[in-house]
């Protein structure tokens, strides 16, 4: 894993950088994947990791629709231009509303946050197994809702392309550099505050 190229901006010191796990420093959002399937145990471990995430009141509002390239019908239904060569395509669907015992509709205030936490778990588990993923907001939500008959109290949040990343040196040079380019990150002092909003935290 090439961590050097994925380093964050130089506003954390070397001691802090050294503490980062390679699942964090080595993560990227590939566009190119090997033509290699994801076996059942691996796939199960990914959704199991997502299931173990924290969620408000343990409501677990994260749902998945998963299509494997090996399953032609599923692939065809989910196929979008964002698929690339990934082995799996997923749509992450959040439960937005539930019924209370009194049969009243209750809007879950943190369902998108909880869903992100579950995807964080899945992402780390994927990294641990050598898989990577690219989230894709550019999905046709209405089409997905229709194709999969998703009820109105659920919201398709994001598409995900997941697979075994193609080794960067297998890519043409122009795309290799683009693929491995370190992504810009906001300076810490622009989002980690102390005394008041906008005041950088003293530990920075």
Ligand X SMILES: Cc1cc2nc3c(=O)[nH]c(=O)nc-3n(C[C@H](O)[C@H](O)[C@H](O)COP(=O)(O)O)c2cc1C
Residues that bind ligand X (CB under 6 A): 28-29, 134-138, 158, 183
Euclidean distance between CA atoms 65 and 78, whole angstroms: 9
Min dist CB 16 to ligand X, Å, is 18
Q: Which residue lies nearer to ligand X by CB, 29 or 68?
A: 29
Q: Which residue lies nearer to ligand X by CB, 106 or 178?
A: 178
Min dist CB 134 to ligand X, Å, is 6
Q: Which residue lies nearer to ligand X by CB, 58 or 183?
A: 183
Task: Give the DSSP per-residue string, 39-56.
Answer: PHHHHHHHHHHHHTS--G
End-to-end CA gap in the chain: 28
Q: Which residue lies nearer to ligand X by CB, 69 or 134?
A: 134
Half-sphere exposure of 70 (CA within 13 A, CB side): 7
Q: Which residue lies nearer to ligand X by CB, 60 or 165?
A: 165
| Residue 172 CA to its chain's centroid (Å) | 26
Token pair 């998963």: residue? 66
Burial (CB count within 10 angstroms: exposed 0-12, middle 13-18, buried 19+), residue 156: buried
Min dist CB 28 to ligand X, Å, is 4
Euclidean distance between CA atoms 10 and 15, whole angstroms: 12
- Please state, in angstroms and as integers, the Cα–Cα distance from residue 199 to each residue in 8, 13, 29, 191, following that order: 21, 20, 32, 9
Min dist CB 136 to ligand X, Å, is 4
Min dist CB 113 to ligand X, Å, is 13
């Amino acid at each position: 894993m090439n961590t050097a190229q994925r380093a964050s901006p130089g506003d954390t010191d070397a001691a802090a950088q050294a503490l980062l796990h390679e699942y964090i420093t080595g993560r990227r959002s590939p566009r190119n994947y090997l033509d290699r399937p994801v076996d059942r145990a691996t796939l199960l471990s990914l959704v199991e990791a997502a299931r173990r995430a924290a969620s408000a009141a343990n409501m677990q509002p994260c749902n998945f629709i998963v299509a494997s390239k090996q399953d032609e019908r599923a692939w065809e239904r989910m196929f979008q231009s964002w698929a690339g060569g990934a082995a799996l395509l997923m749509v992450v669907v959040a439960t937005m509303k539930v019924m209370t015992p009194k049969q009243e509709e209750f809007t879950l205030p943190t369902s998108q946050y909880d869903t992100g936490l579950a995807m964080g778990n899945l992402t780390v588990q994927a990294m641990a197994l050598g898989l990577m993923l690219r989230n894709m907001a550019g999905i046709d939500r209405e089409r997905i809702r229709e194709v999969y008959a998703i009820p109105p109290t659920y919201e398709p949040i994001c598409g995900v392309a997941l697979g075994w990343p193609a080794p960067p040196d297998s890519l043409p040079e122009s795309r290799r550099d683009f693929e491995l380019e370190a992504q810009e990150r906001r300076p810490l002092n622009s989002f980690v505050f102390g005394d008041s909003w906008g005041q950088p935290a003293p530990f920075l």
